[in-house]
Structure 1
Amino acid sequence: MAARNRLPPWHEHIRLSNGREVLVRPIRPADADPLRQGFALLEPDEIRQRFLHALKELSPDQADRLTRPDAKREFALVAAEPLPPGEALVGAVARAAITDSGREAEFAILVSHYIAGMGLGRHLMRRLVRWAKGRKLERLWGDVQEHNQPMLALAQSLGFHREAAPEPGLVRVVLDLTPARTTHHHETPQAA
């Protein structure tokens, strides 16, 4: 049995198109400091696209909150260097949180420009979808800035559809997770 098969649940090594290997794994409290350090490396537009407004830094409280998801309602993965949490540079974060309805989850993904365009966002989104389906949720959705074409294209390629968002400048992308219900029509075909 190969070592990669012995990884804990939700852990996997991924080789990016640039040859760099990252470890996709659940976020850990020890990731708080690397997240704060990595936040300083983000470009202002990356921050706006994820947080929908400009932030100068990720506060210790915000970082702590991000790294301690409520296991009953939240799921968060990171793509990090294959080093122990706390030492590993975090290049991407993907998160889903079940809404108050209990039937759907909101997602958010942030991939640093250093590793953007290498398929990691797609991979992380698929993991969020898998988690949401495992929770028997009906929908997974997120609000995306309308000029964030890479994210909108990714969502569309994965089967998300667009809905009106609650704020101007945003597009809500939604993936229906319930199996399509087949309808049975007992009508006789009309003659042409």
Structure 2
Amino acid sequence: MSARNRLPPWHERLRLANGREILIRPIRADDAGPLKASFPLLQPEEVRQRFQHRVKELSDETLQRLTQPQPKTEFALVAAEPLPPGEALVGAVARAAIAPGTRDAEFAILVSHYVAGMGLGRHLMRRLVRWAKGKKLDRLWGEVLEDNQPMLSLLDSLDFRRESAGTPGLVRVVLDLSPSSARKTSAGRGEGPRPPG
């Protein structure tokens, strides 16, 4: 591979099952405009599954927090058209953030119905796991609506375990990343830090 064809870290070109070529890359501040503009195109069920309640638009504060992650504690990828940030339509976002004072990160993924069912959620989830392992974290966790069976099945296949989220209708899913956290889990949840909830 020649140097001019080499992609920067965390960049990857993919061709989806429908033939569309996308670029997976770290999110950029310039993605805020396209994200805000395309949010109303999401179906209500997609929004509910990601935010767990109705959201009509992304606030400027939310967009800034999402598109300008803190490099030491946050990581966010997008699956977008292979165009410059700010021009590219974003079809999916995957994010992980380390909870302060812990070695645990919470994840969230939103895949638009335009590119759903093509393995993109699995691909992005694996990238979040890779990032979390690179940070030597103990756990990666998230909360998923119990009726979001496609997401729960995907996470089951990636060895996440299910726990009670303490909120009706939600399931907490946890992936143990270190041998010590796996031992603590088998010994009981009374030891060690608990993912914030």
TM-score by length of 1: 0.91
Q: Deviations over 1:136-174 (max 9, x none)?
A: 000000000000001000000000010010311000011
Distance 1:169 1:3, change over 3 A: farther
- Matched position secondary structure for 2:41: coil
Cα distance change on mapping 1:57 and 1:138 into 2, 3 Å: same
Check if 1:21 corresponds to 2:21: yes
Cα gap change, 1:16/1:3 in structure 2, threshold over 3 Å: closer, same or farther?
A: farther
CA contact (8 A) 1:38 1:91 kept: no
Aligned length: 181
TM-score, normalisation: structure 2:
0.88
Deviation digits for residues 10-36 of structure 1 (CA, Å, limit 9, x no counterpart): 000011111101100000000001001
Cα distance in 1 for residues equivalent to 2:19 and 2:3? 20
1:3 positional shift: 6.7
Q: Answer yes or no: is 1:107 the counterpart of 2:112.
A: no
Percent of aligned pairs with the same residue?
A: 73
Which residue of 2 is the match for residue 121 of structure 1?
Answer: 121
Alpha-carbon separation, structure 2, partners of 1:22 and 1:159: 27
Q: Structure 2: how far apart are the matches of 1:140 and 1:16?
A: 27
**Helix, strand or coil at the partner of 1:40:** helix
The one-letter code matched in structure 2 to 1:58 is L
Match of 2:46 in 1: 46
Instruction: Give how far 1:70 is off.
Output: 0.7
Alignment of 1:123-138 (within 5 A): 123-138=123-138
For residues 59 and 22 of structure 1, the distance between their equivalents in structure 2, rounded to whole angstroms, comes to: 26
Q: Distance in 2 between matches of 1:169 and 1:118?
A: 26
Query: Which one has the largest radius of gyration?
Result: 1
Shift of 1:102: 2.5
Higher helix proportion: 2
Letter in 2 for 1:134: G
Match of 1:144 in 2: 144
CA RMSD of aligned residues (A): 1.4
In structure 1, runs of 5+ residues without a counterpart are 182-192
Match of 1:69 in 2: 69
Give the secondary-structure state (helix, strand or coil) at the position aligned to 2:117: coil
Task: Indicate the larger mover: 1-10 or 20-29.
Answer: 1-10
State the SS of the aligned residue for 1:129.
helix
CA contact 1:96–1:106 (8 Å) conserved in 2: yes
Query: Is contact 1:4-1:13 (8 Å) kept?
Result: no
Q: CA deviation at 1:52?
A: 1.0
